[in-house]
């Protein structure tokens, strides 16, 4: 039986032979196959990422390499098919865009195993903070990794650092970090910080007084704080818990100016005291007024797939007509870093749309401590660690 039925039968096998491939052709075929296979795996199944910032410490560390599952929440189809394979926004080592918008496709999501849940560690494309921020196609926006603390339909509130979802305390990540202020007699050397178990990403100088004292902002777990406070070296004068009361959080005053709205003092929130805030859910309808436009106007205008929409003088117009209520077209999520005082997250730029969700952080396959010496560079205890 001829198992290679797609090939033409050769009746003169003794006289006719296929011309062997050249080495160049063999290499080209191998590289092409590898690129196609890697592209399909990266798109459909799993993609590798690295952690560049400390916003998720100590759950995830700077230098962790992890795989992110695309099939958990369902793979997204691309909106920009004209793109150099295995690139993101730019061609490697250049500022040349890796894609063209000459062809744009609607985005769809394939069926997944599950949905985003409270507590999941999620990779997503971060939405720009302001209406006039530079933007990319959805699937090419900058990737962030955070913990989902609120899903569509939830009401989130933060009281004195504790997160509440629908009035109930959300369990805190075991390794979450908060900010502390170290006051020292003088500058603390990198060597002494290392003795305290702190790397350069964990601290930064805040200010120096006229008499030579220096204040540092340091990010620690509760256990690390208690240990350092108990064994406090003589060059540290005091350690105090930092309170984050800055008011540059969502919803920022810039929205009020853009939308012609009055500032609502009840929405003057901070990192540690935030909300209550309802997270938009697909199919849910809200009344349109100054308060709801302050909270949801940017989301409606930029992310909810309206062809013609604008906000003027505190009124919402869709397809040229003023509307007094609005029904959301997709689900949204609220993301926060486990390093609660050192994370740029939904407390600053608001909701993450469902079509910006990339995948679920799955497991760590390699971890490198860039601040350690050569022998201790690899964190062996983090190999193949599942992410929780």
Where helices occur in 149-289 by DSSP H, the ranges are 190-195, 222-230, 253-259
Count of C-beta atoms within a 10 Å radius of residue 329: 15
- Residue 255 and residue 262: Cα distance in Å, rounded? 10
pLDDT tier for residue 370 given thresholds of 50, 70 and 90: confident
The pLDDT value given to residue 83 = 87
- Residue 341 and residue 202: Cα distance in Å, rounded? 11
Look up the pTM and report it. Answer: 0.85
pLDDT single digits (tens) 81-130: 888 887 888 888 888 988 888 998 999 999 989 999 999 999 999 887 55
Q: How deeply is 115 buried, as exposed, middle or buried, from its count of CB atoms within 10 A (0-12, 13-18, 19+)?
A: middle
Burial track 122-139 (b if 16+ CB lie within 10 A, e otherwise): bbbbbbeeeeeeeebbbb
Residue from 177, 350, 339, 347 nearest 274 by CA? 347
pLDDT tier for residue 325 given thresholds of 50, 70 and 90: very high
Is the pLDDT score of 46 beyond 90? Answer: no
pLDDT tier for residue 134 given thresholds of 50, 70 and 90: low
Is the pLDDT score of 2 beyond 70? Answer: no
Q: How far is CA 222 from CA 20, 175, 339, 369, 372, in A?
A: 67, 8, 11, 22, 23
pLDDT tier for residue 16 given thresholds of 50, 70 and 90: low
Mean pLDDT score of the chain:
86
The pLDDT value given to residue 132 = 45
Query: Cβ neighbours of residue 334 under 8 Å, at least 6 residues apart?
Result: 148, 149, 150, 151, 154, 156, 277, 279, 346, 351, 352
User: Per-residue pLDDT averaged across 294-322, rounded?
Assistant: 91
- Residue 215 and residue 209: Cα distance in Å, rounded? 8
The pLDDT value given to residue 131 = 47
- Residue 43 and residue 48: Cα distance in Å, rounded? 11
């Amino acid at each position: 039986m001829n198992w290679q039925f797609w090939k033409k039968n050769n009746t003169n096998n003794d006289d006719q032979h296929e011309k062997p491939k050249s080495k160049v052709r063999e290499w080209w075929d191998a590289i092409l196959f590898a690129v196609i296979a890697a592209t399909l795996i990266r798109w459909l199944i799993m993609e590798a990422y690295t952690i560049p910032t400390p916003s998720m410490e100590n759950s995830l560390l700077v230098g962790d390499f992890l795989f992110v599952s695309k099939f958990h929440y369902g793979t997204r189809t691309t909106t920009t098919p004209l793109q150099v394979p295995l690139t993101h926004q730019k061609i490697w080592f250049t500022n040349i865009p890796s894609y063209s918008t000459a062809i744009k496709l609607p985005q769809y999501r394939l069926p997944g195993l599950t949905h985003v849940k409270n507590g999941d560690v999620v990779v997503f494309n971060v939405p720009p903070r302001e209406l006039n921020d530079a933007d990319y196609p959805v699937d090419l926006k900058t990737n962030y990794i955070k913990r989902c603390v609120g899903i569509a339909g939830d009401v989130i509130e933060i009281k004195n650092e504790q997160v509440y979802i629908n009035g109930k305390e959300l369990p805190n990540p075991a390794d979450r970090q908060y900010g502390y202020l170290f006051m020292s007699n003088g500058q603390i050397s990198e060597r002494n910080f290392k003795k305290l178990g702190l790397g350069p990403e964990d601290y930064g100088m805040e200010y120096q007084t006229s008499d030579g004292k220096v204040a540092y902002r340091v990010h620690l777990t509760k256990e690390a704080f208690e240990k350092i406070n108990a064994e406090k070296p003589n060059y540290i004068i005091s350690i105090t818990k930092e309170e984050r009361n800055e008011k540059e959080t969502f919803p920022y005053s810039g929205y009020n100016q853009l939308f012609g709205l009055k500032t609502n003092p009840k929405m003057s929130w901070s990192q540690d005291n935030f909300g209550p805030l309802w997270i938009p859910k697909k199919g849910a309808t809200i009344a349109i007024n100054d308060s709801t436009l302050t909270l949801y106007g940017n989301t409606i205008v930029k992310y909810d797939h309206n062809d013609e929409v604008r906000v003027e003088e505190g009124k919402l117009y869709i397809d040229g007509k003023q509307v007094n209520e609005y029904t959301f077209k997709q689900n949204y999520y609220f993301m926060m870093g486990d390093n609660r005082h050192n994370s740029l997250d939904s407390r600053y730029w608001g909701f993450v749309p469902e079509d910006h969700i990339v995948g679920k952080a799955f497991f760590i396959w390699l971890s490198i401590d860039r601040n350690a010496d050569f022998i201790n560079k690899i964190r062996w205890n983090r190999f193949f660690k599942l992410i929780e």
